[in-house]
Amino acid sequence: MNRTLLLVALFLVLGGTAWYALSKKKNQTGTHVSWDMDFAVKNPEKIGKIFLADREGHTVTLEQKGKRWIYNGNYPARPSAVEMLLETISRVNVLNIPPHGAVPGMVKELAAIGIKVEIYDREGKSIKTYYVGGITNDERGTVLLMDGAEQPYVTHLPGFIGQIRMHFLMGDDDWRDKAIFREKPEEIQSVSVEYPQRKSESFKLEKTGEAAYEVKPFFGTTTEMNTPRRKGVAEAYLVQFESLVAESFETENLLRDSVKALVPFVILTMKKTDGAEKKIRFWPVEVKMSRTGASFVERYFTDVNNEDFMLTQDRVFGCLFRGYGFFFEGIPEKKRLRN
């Protein structure tokens, strides 16, 4: 009898211990988790490089250089995309442990559509490596598998409703910064604005000294203004170049070549004091009618250095489309503004 009671007690103790251990793992969140559940990098400021690769051969390398993140070694990365990725990497947490019967399907899906994520510190030392799989049926969880582990987990971003797979974007246009200009005004040497069909409105603004600027006609056939320049207008114009962002890349647009063969509405060339130069061409693509019957341009196809083809909005870039007379006193307000 005593032996039976002893065996029952031992069974209860062992069973209770196993239940407690399993229950604890299933409910693990925060800092005390097993190595294969510990996906979050708690100190994202230490991250210096992130490498992503999918099963189709697409790769993404994001490296921090100074205060900027660079995409694939050549292009400034889109700040909002990098910020979202870093937030995801630093806060991703296990939502639940999938049932045993669901694991083979998750592993199979990881093999088919998984995104490999490698995270390194600023010295190039590996911090974590894991795989991002598919999403749950309710689209609130995303499957992650730690490199070297066999157990996948359903994860989420606390406070965020939705799947996090989309934060590990793979397309070039998803990661590249859409900013055409992010310039410090004091680092701009000159800006020329050429209107091929309105030559008299074309001009060149050039830095001649510390906070000193000169505005002249772009074409030699245009008569120079003999009235005083409006104070502070040249400086205010250059401030516009601090942040001008396109709406989207149009890399695959079928109209790209035919549009670039047309005479542009305006050609804008910006040169910096270090010799760097950007030449931007704009073609109206979306013209609308106001309530008064007047037409106005809402969007432009835009070519950047004969490399990138983009879509820009007039409400963002229209501040650059000024005429020569805009910078001088005694010119009627209607003549100062672009038409």
**Residue range 101-145, pLDDT digits in tens:** 999 999 999 999 999 999 999 999 999 999 999 999 988 999 999
Closest Cα to residue 208, out of 270, 267, 273? 273
Find the mean pLDDT for residues 306-318. 96
Give me the residue spans of the domains in the chain.
32-175, 179-336
335 vs 111 pLDDT, higher one:
111
What is the dihedral angle through the alpha carbons of 224, 226, 231, 237, rounded to the nearest 10 degrees?
-10
Query: pTM of the prediction?
Result: 0.76
Are the CB atoms for 147 and 127 separated by under 8 Å?
no
Give residue 67's pLDDT.
87
For residue range 153-168, what is the model confidence (pLDDT) as tens digits? Answer: 999 999 998 899 999 9
* DSSP run (H or E) holding 23: helix 2-26
Q: Which two tokens stand for residue 88?
A: 């995801």
The span from the CA of 202 to the CA of 267, in Å, is: 10
For residue range 202-249, what is the model confidence (pLDDT) as tens digits? Answer: 999 999 998 899 999 999 999 999 899 999 999 999 999 999 999 999
